[in-house]
């Protein structure tokens, strides 16, 4: 096992943990960081690693929201348990569109869309959309203040917005938060529902990658995966807490400006790299 490679894995885990739950595109950051530090592993393992370390980020959501997501919690009333079951049904409904399109288009997107130019365009476009939406919402009273108030129909529509996140650089949390707010969800409800959608989506994506590329890892590769997952978990806990605290006092415009700046950096980097090649 190479200690330099392990340090690179830790950097990628930190980036994943910080960016997975913020509406700034974890994929965009991971592509750029990997370009800069060049994790020296096989291409197949890298494809698995960049998806499977998201399991650590998922576990952060499960831990932080275990009470809210657990329909069997003995501390809940019968009504609260029913509400939790209904919440899970809405989560599943919202995941169906992205699951269908993801299965159909995964190989094509991996071959054609995973490049710096697509990522930078998505970062900039959705950054502009966030700023425009928040300008419109400056004096808006959102009718949906809690995730339990999200209807089945609204959940399905949010799931349709999640399909947009299949384009790298869009951000799964960004597309679902943007869609949920357009549909009348408060910032807090939109962010929480986005977190919850991430659980089945990323479990499914990780499972598909493992099935596609196999489970045959060397000892060093297994350590890299576990280390990446652990650091992504720890950092995700703080990332989620930060976001929920931040949006109690602020809107999402900062993230919109950040996306635009990052998009410009990404396209500049890949343009200069292409010219120097």
Note the pLDDT tens digit of each residue in 170-212.
Answer: 998 999 999 999 999 999 999 999 999 989 988 887 777 777 7
More confident residue, 150 or 106: 150
Query: SS3 sequence, 253-266?
Result: HHHHHHHHHHHHHH
pTM (two decimals): 0.89
270 within 8 A of 115, measured Cβ to Cβ: yes
Q: What is the mean pLDDT of residues 234-253?
A: 95
Give the model's confidence band at 239: pLDDT under 50 very low, under 70 low, under 90 confident, else very high. Answer: very high
Tell which residue, 247, 242, 188, has the closest CA to residue 68.
188
pLDDT at 10 over 90: yes
Banded pLDDT at 1 (limits 50, 70, 90): low
Q: Tens of pLDDT along 98-117?
A: 888 888 887 787 777 877 78
Of 81-90, 94-103, 227-236, the least confident: 94-103
Q: For position 106, what pLDDT does the model report?
A: 75
Averaged pLDDT score across all residues of the chain: 90
């Amino acid at each position: 096992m190479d200690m330099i490679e392990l340090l690179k894995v830790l950097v990628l885990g930190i980036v994943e943990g910080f960016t997975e739950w913020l509406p700034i595109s974890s994929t965009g950051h991971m592509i750029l960081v990997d370009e800069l530090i060049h994790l020296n592993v096989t291409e197949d393992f890298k494809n698995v690693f960049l998806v499977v370390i998201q399991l650590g980020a998922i576990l952060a959501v499960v831990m932080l929201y275990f009470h809210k997501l657990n329909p069997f919690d003995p501390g809940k009333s019968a009504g609260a348990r029913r509400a939790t079951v209904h919440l899970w049904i809405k989560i599943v409904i919202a995941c169906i569109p992205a699951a269908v399109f993801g299965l159909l288009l995964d190989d094509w997107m991996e071959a054609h869309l995973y490049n710096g130019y697509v990522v930078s365009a998505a970062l900039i476009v959705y950054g502009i959309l966030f700023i425009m939406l928040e300008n419109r919402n400056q004096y808006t009273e959102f009718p949906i203040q809690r995730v339990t108030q999200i209807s089945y129909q609204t959940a399905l529509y949010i799931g349709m917005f999640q399909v947009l996140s299949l384009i790298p650089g869009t951000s799964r949390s960004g597309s679902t938060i943007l869609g949920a707010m357009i549909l009348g969800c408060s910032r807090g409800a939109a962010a929480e529902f986005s977190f919850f959608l991430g659980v089945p989506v990323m479990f499914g994506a990780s499972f598909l990658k493992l099935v596609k590329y196999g489970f045959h890892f060397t000892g060093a590769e297994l350590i890299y995966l576990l280390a990446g997952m652990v650091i992504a978990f720890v950092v995700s806990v703080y990332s989620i807490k930060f976001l929920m605290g931040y949006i109690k006092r602020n809107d999402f415009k900062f993230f919109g400006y950040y996306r635009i700046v990052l998009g410009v950096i990404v396209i500049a980097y890949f343009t200069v790299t292409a010219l120097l090649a």
